[in-house]
Chains A and B, each alone.
Chain A
Amino acid sequence: MSTIELLLRAFEYGFMWRALIVGIAVAISSATIGSFLVLKKYAMIGHGLSHVAFAAVAIAIVLNQAPLFFSLPIVTLASIVVLRINQNARIHGDAAIGLMAATAMALGTTLVSTSGGFNIDLYSYLFGSILTIRSIDVVFATVFSVVVIGFVLLNFNTLFSLTFDESFAKISGVNANRMNTWLAVFTGITVVIGIRAIGTLLISALIIFPAIIALQFNRGFKGTLILAVIVSIFTVIGGLLLSFILDYPSGSSIVLLNSAIFFIIYLMRTALKLQT
């Protein structure tokens, strides 16, 4: 069967459509939230949270609970705590995130080993699996991504001002604490809705890569944000299809596609700079 035939066949399966809807929902949320996090130098929060999500999923499996619903409050709470630590000048934010990620990972692996080791179910949560996405995941991801996008659209100017210059935003009447807390809450939600398609360990890449790729294009803020969303959707769809054709974990395919695009653009920019 040729690659084109295989690609066309992908759309005959219900699970592929579910994966695409969840993937696009996650792509939009992670790119918008990620752009603010990267520019506020909070990108590592996503990385720390992905490890917390792993521990939360492990606990849920051990306790026989629904992993995503169980993870949602834990990851969101962790996101708020990490943000507070990051803002506290007395503690090094990056070190605190490193400690939290390692502790969560250790907790997750210990729980997993006591309950019979890594099985296929947990493996799919780690690296994403399009086969495991259910209709309830589609509803969950779509609703939350609409909420995240609504939040960003309604507060776009406020979020921009806060990201560019927090002091000025504050004197303009912006409640910086409240907005930062909301940003942390939506980061937590984005990490959780990305678990099925991308996996707990790789979701942070989808928060960081599209923003970093979009930043290579010398655009304004709105332009960069839109470009990040386009890149994110493109790489998620491309990655999911690659995953279907090559039978790789979906999260890995999406992240590798992002990495490839970033390095190609980065090399092209460097070559152009050297020419001029």
Chain B
Amino acid sequence: MTVLTIARRQLGETRWSLLFSAAAFFGLALLWNWGISEYQFREETPEESPPAAPSAEVNDGDASPTEEPTDDASRRRRRRGRPGPQVYVAFGVPGDRVLGLPPDQTPTLLMQVAMANHPLVFLVVLGWGIGRASAAVAGEIERGTLDLTLSRPVRRSTYMLAQLLAAVVVFGVLGLSIAAGHLVSDQFFRLNEPPSPADYLPMVASLAALGLAVFGYTLPISASDLSRARAGIIGLGITLAGIAALIFARQYEDYEWTADLSVFQYYAPVGITLEGSSEQYTDLSILLGIFAAGGLLALLAFSRRDLPSNSG
């Protein structure tokens, strides 16, 4: 019960930020589905020329240099780029699953799930992971509110467990808000074979696991530090190093192993939804393992550390 009481307070304090983030994810999902619908069931207007074949879009995404803009519509098209599935390929959907298919037959689920690779989604999830973890202990010490809880008969392990529970709820809500956006979109937009709610679960799990992994490696730093900013900066540094490791590994074959040091190597929302192979579930388990290991390390550090006064 004490765990729930503390977790509820933690969530209560951040409820508006969480609601805002969830609403943003929900809204982004609606926009995303609008784009899918526009691609799949595009309504031709008299001014527009017929879209090029999907296969041609891959090889020639922009208008041909020999093509002269003849009217406003074609100028607009040239400026924006032609609508097509390449955006989904860029966000991790395998090209052979969408390219070459007639637009109205492209798989909706895969195109929807690709949203989990959108930079905005990354930004919010990583922000929550680092922010929540750095606030969990160092932030509470810094603002002096940890005394409030830990001068009561509360085990430090209970406090830490409540932080882990609150993190699970936060990332669960964020993942589910994307899934909810996709589900609701079916009511507003025409989509090819709308998926069932259960189809989104691997994506939700993958997204939540990424956030939890980032939370997991930032938490031990927070649990042994006094400054929230320092814990956050170190957490951010590890995250950026993970991104750099992934890029480095792709550039230099001899150092491919460095990718395994990055949490992003194990994050594949499209793959796990697409195939759901045991390898992909192993990757998901690795992310959850980082969260669990981080939680354990944080608990060990937190149980042994001094908790100085806020004025000290």
User: Are A and B subunits of one complex?
Assistant: no
Interface residues of A (CB under 8 A from B): none
